[in-house]
Chains A and B, each alone.
Chain A
Amino acid sequence: MDAVALEHLGFEIALGTYLISSVLFVLYFSIKKQRLAEMGFTLALFGFAFQTLALASRWLYAGYPPWVSTYEVMSFFAWAVVGAYVILNVKSDYKSAGVLIAPLAFVLLGFASMQPTNPAPLIPALQSVWIFIHVPIIILAYCAFVIAFAASVLYLFKDKQLSEAHMKEGVNRQRDAASKDTPPSRTPESTGILANFSLEQLDDLAYKSVAVGFPLLTIGIITGAIWAESAWGSYWSWDPIETWALITWFVFLVYLHAKTQSWSASLAAYIAALGFMSAICTFLGVGYVLPFLQTYINVSTGLHGYAGGGAISGTVLFCGILGAVLLLLLATRKKPPNATRAPPAQTDTESGPTPQ
């Protein structure tokens, strides 16, 4: 079998396994059978292995790293996201995060599958050592932000679940106090898919991911500036992709400063989510959506020509991912305390019975 056929086979298998893995994870979230998560993870691992094969054979026959054309960049990003997810699960068990990772990998790879796959020779401006450094570093930074986002969203869901359990607890306790014969209810505990990890663990995971992603983004921006300086004679020209990368950098800068303060962990989680949205805007929005808003299409010029393959499908991809992120964040909002219910949250279960 030649390298091209091997690449296509690996790609198709990965696409299929990421789809099945996504379905398994969605099922896992609805029927909460641990086995489904295990299977979803194994499938993602399987797909990752085949995609590694596909990317490696493409690198071999194309003669340049597989992160230049739209097809390559989207595929490489999907590969790196799944890779980060696999690494995450080496030491600890964060398989549940697959419910966000697997669909993202599938959507990215599905989008890649709609793009032309023929390798084009590198234009002069792209022939630089920086293509080996700048592009993968930026993509790895984005992967770290994907993990930070996943951890933050799980944190917010868990936080919501706990506070709702507390609220119920409050109601039960009032009832218990009224009729002394019912046994006191137990401390609220998170159940199901979020039971595997604590709030502290998720908060810590988000922080560690940002601690990996932020220096990578910094290196990515600096190497981009060095490259721009040598190619255009200007290390910074406020082109939209530079500006948005800087915006993302600023958001995570605020996140890291928030972590040194006694600000709430939920606020930090929302800042991390905002940073991830900004990263999506940088990666997809600038190339696909800005040309719609701006009358002249001069946005993805220069070296960031990876956002190709049709503004419509690209915009659908961008809006789909951003919309899903927004819906998830909306779903983490706590229900406003009901007037008929007992005062929520601040009633501490360990502080003993409240005087009635």
Chain B
Amino acid sequence: MRFAIKVLTSIRFAAATIGVIILVSVIGTLYPGGDVVFGSPLFLALIGILAISTALCSLTKIVPLWRDVRRPQIEVSDHFMQALPYFVRLSGVSLTQVRDSLKGYAIRETKNGSTTFLLAQKGRVGRFGSHIAHFGVLILLLGVAIGAVYGNTNPYNNKIAVIQEGGSQQVDGFSLRLDDFNVSYYNNGAVRDYTATVTVLDGNLIQTHNVTVNGPLTYKGLTFYLYGYGVTPSGNAWVAFQIKSTSGLPLVWVGAAVALVGIMLSLYVPHKRIWIKESNQSTQLGAISNKSSSRFLNEIEGVRAKLESPPHRVEYSTRSE
């Protein structure tokens, strides 16, 4: 069981699954009618495996990450400090000065005997970005699944309602009346747009809407799209509306938005951490960032240069993470 979780949560496994999904998708686009693979049990299973892998990956990592971010190690060993990508010994600099020079950082301090430890952090939310993105994708998939299950069980889903001008059609407890249908043209005779004016009659409620090609009507979980039009032998216009259930749709959009926010957080908000250790003998400063390391190291170097001029003794290493 532990081994299974280890495999499922590994990025290698996820990457391999994505590789297979890509391969199947490519094949699905290459031959006519190949898009049936996207509804096949094989494809659904692959997506399911990827979803489980994504969920487990975040579930196993989010608790330790939360703990690390909420209760970070403030008292750190010299060995730990010296192993950080940026490490420097400061001289003639007080802790107050350091604190004042770190703008926008959340600062914590502890004392152990005569030694003071300080941890300054910025961009902690960036660490959660990838997990927020995973969560968003899972919400989206849930929306897709709900749409597939409940949408398809709705008797009106994918049905076509044909209504004559002046006539109406009963749909799911309310009725839709076609008041007017218009085609507008460009100067050269090409069609500009089709507009159907419809009225929803639901008990005491009477609402009139314009339905256009890019502007469908949504009412009580059903969306009506322009599908076709024509003229009856008696000269009356008729319009065909395709009806779609909106089941799961809000979850799809919310999931997509959450995933996008997560992606942006993980890519654009680096988690920066600076430890300072002040004792009788010396003041040490160590820093690390999980993204854009060189820019962060320059920033810290700037802070150091401001605090301490001229530098006393500097050990500056720019090891990449």
B28 pairs with A243, CB closer than 8 A: yes
**Chain B 244-263: CB-based contact to A (< 8 A → 1; otherwise 0):** 10000100110011011001
Give A114 Cβ to nearest chain B Cβ, in Å. Answer: 24
Which residues of B lie under 8 Å from residue A293 when comparing CB positions?
Answer: 30-31
Chain B residue at minimum C-beta to C-beta distance from A208: B292
Which residues of B lie under 8 Å from residue A250 when comparing CB positions?
Answer: 18, 21-22
Q: Which of B107-115, B198-206, B207-215, B271-279 contacts A (4 or more CB under 8 A)?
A: B207-215
Which residues of A lie under 8 Å from residue B22 when comparing CB positions?
Answer: 247, 250-251
CB neighbors of B among A107-123 (8 A): 120-121, 123
Which residues of A lie under 8 Å from residue B259 when comparing CB positions?
Answer: 218
Give B296 Cβ to nearest chain A Cβ, in Å. Answer: 13
**Chain B 92-115: CB-based contact to A (< 8 A → 1; otherwise 0):** 000000000000000000000000
Q: Give Cα A16–Cα B132 distance, bound, in whole angstroms.
A: 48
**Chain A 204-223: CB-based contact to B (< 8 A → 1; otherwise 0):** 10000001001100110010
B15 pairs with A124, CB closer than 8 A: no
Q: Contacts A124-B194, A246-B25, A250-B22 known; A233 to B223 CB distance under 8 Å?
A: yes
B18 pairs with A294, CB closer than 8 A: no
Within 8 Å by CB of B11, from A127, A215, A246, A257, lies A257
Q: Give Cα A222–Cα B261 distance, bound, in whole angstroms.
A: 13
Which residues of A lie under 8 Å from residue B190 when comparing CB positions?
Answer: 120-121, 123
Within 8 Å by CB of B260, from A219, A260, A286, lies A219
A238 pairs with B35, CB closer than 8 A: yes
Give B24 Cβ to nearest chain A Cβ, in Å. Answer: 10
Does B299 reach chain A (CB closer than 8 Å)? Answer: no
Which residues of A lie under 8 Å from residue B194 when comparing CB positions?
Answer: 124
Give A22 Cβ to nearest chain B Cβ, in Å. Answer: 32
CB neighbors of B among A230-264 (8 A): 230-236, 238-240, 243-244, 246-247, 250-251, 253-254, 256-258, 260-261
Which residues of B lie under 8 Å from residue A127 when comparing CB positions?
Answer: 192-193, 213-214
Which residues of B lie under 8 Å from residue A120 when comparing CB positions?
Answer: 190
Interface size on A, residues (CB 8 A): 48
Which residues of A lie under 8 Å from residue B83 when comparing CB positions?
Answer: none
Does B242 reach chain A (CB closer than 8 Å)? Answer: yes
A214 pairs with B214, CB closer than 8 A: no
Does B225 reach chain A (CB closer than 8 Å)? Answer: yes
Within 8 Å by CB of A234, from B25, B186, B192, B244, lies B244
Q: Contacts A218-B259, A238-B28 known; A121 to B192 CB distance under 8 Å?
A: yes
Interface size class of B (residues with CB under 8 A): 35 or more
Which residues of A lie under 8 Å from residue B244 when comparing CB positions?
Answer: 233-234
Chain A residue at minimum C-beta to C-beta distance from B245: A233
Does B233 reach chain A (CB closer than 8 Å)? Answer: no
Q: Give Cα A200–Cα B191 distance, bound, in whole angstroms.
A: 55
Chain A residue at minimum C-beta to C-beta distance from B34: A294
Chain A residue at minimum C-beta to C-beta distance from B264: A215
A247 pairs with B26, CB closer than 8 A: yes
B35 pairs with A230, CB closer than 8 A: no
Does A125 reach chain B (CB closer than 8 Å)? Answer: yes
B29 pairs with A286, CB closer than 8 A: yes
Does B14 reach chain A (CB closer than 8 Å)? Answer: yes
Q: Contacts A231-B213, A250-B22, A257-B15 known; A121 to B30 CB distance under 8 Å?
A: no
Does B85 reach chain A (CB closer than 8 Å)? Answer: no
Secondary structure call for the B interface: helix
Does B52 reach chain A (CB closer than 8 Å)? Answer: no
Chain B residue at minimum C-beta to C-beta distance from A241: B29
Which residues of B lie under 8 Å from residue A214 when comparing CB positions?
Answer: 263, 267
A244 pairs with B260, CB closer than 8 A: no
Give B52 Cβ to nearest chain A Cβ, in Å. Answer: 16
Give A297 Cβ to nearest chain B Cβ, in Å. Answer: 10
Q: Give Cα A353–Cα B50 distance, bound, in whole angstroms.
A: 50
Q: Give Cα A225–Cα B255 distance, bound, in whole angstroms.
A: 13
A254 pairs with B267, CB closer than 8 A: no
Does B32 reach chain A (CB closer than 8 Å)? Answer: yes
Give B271 Cβ to nearest chain A Cβ, in Å. Answer: 13
Give A193 Cβ to nearest chain B Cβ, in Å. Answer: 23
Does A290 reach chain B (CB closer than 8 Å)? Answer: yes
Give B8 Cβ to nearest chain A Cβ, in Å. Answer: 15
**Chain B 64-78: CB-based contact to A (< 8 A → 1; otherwise 0):** 000000000000000
Which residues of B lie under 8 Å from residue A258 when comparing CB positions?
Answer: 11, 15
Give A293 Cβ to nearest chain B Cβ, in Å. Answer: 6
Chain B residue at minimum C-beta to C-beta distance from A271: B15
Does B188 reach chain A (CB closer than 8 Å)? Answer: yes
Which residues of B lie under 8 Å from residue A227 when comparing CB positions?
Answer: 214
Give B127 Cβ to nearest chain A Cβ, in Å. Answer: 12
Chain B residue at minimum C-beta to C-beta distance from A212: B267
Q: Give Cα A232–Cα B213 distance, bound, in whole angstroms.
A: 8
Q: Give Cα A231–Cα B225 distance, bound, in whole angstroms.
A: 7
Q: Give Cα A204–Cα B244 distance, bound, in whole angstroms.
A: 46
CB neighbors of B among A255-292 (8 A): 256-258, 260-261, 286, 290
Which residues of B lie under 8 Å from residue A243 when comparing CB positions?
Answer: 25, 28-29, 35, 38
Q: Give Cα A235–Cα B11 distance, bound, in whole angstroms.
A: 29
Which residues of B lie under 8 Å from residue A239 when comparing CB positions?
Answer: 35
Which residues of A lie under 8 Å from residue B38 when comparing CB positions?
Answer: 238, 243
Does B216 reach chain A (CB closer than 8 Å)? Answer: yes
**Chain A 80-120: CB-based contact to B (< 8 A → 1; otherwise 0):** 00000000000000000000000000000000000000001
Does B320 reach chain A (CB closer than 8 Å)? Answer: yes
A235 pairs with B267, CB closer than 8 A: no
Q: Give Cα A254–Cα B32 distance, bound, in whole angstroms.
A: 28
Q: What would be 10 A-B contacts, judged by CB atoms less than 8 Å apart?
A: A218-B259, A222-B256, A230-B216, A233-B244, A235-B249, A238-B38, A246-B25, A250-B18, A257-B15, A294-B31
7 extra interchain contacts, Cβ-Cβ under 8 A, other than A225-B256, A227-B214, A254-B19? A125-B213, A204-B294, A214-B263, A215-B267, A235-B252, A251-B22, A261-B11
| A interface residues (Cβ-Cβ under 8 A, vs B) | 120-121, 123-125, 127-128, 200, 204, 211, 214-215, 218-219, 222, 225-227, 229-236, 238-240, 243-244, 246-247, 250-251, 253-254, 256-258, 260-261, 286, 290, 293-296
The 10 A-B pairs at the shortest CB distance, nearest first, are namely A124-B213, A128-B214, A233-B225, A233-B244, A121-B186, A240-B29, A238-B38, A294-B32, A124-B193, A211-B267
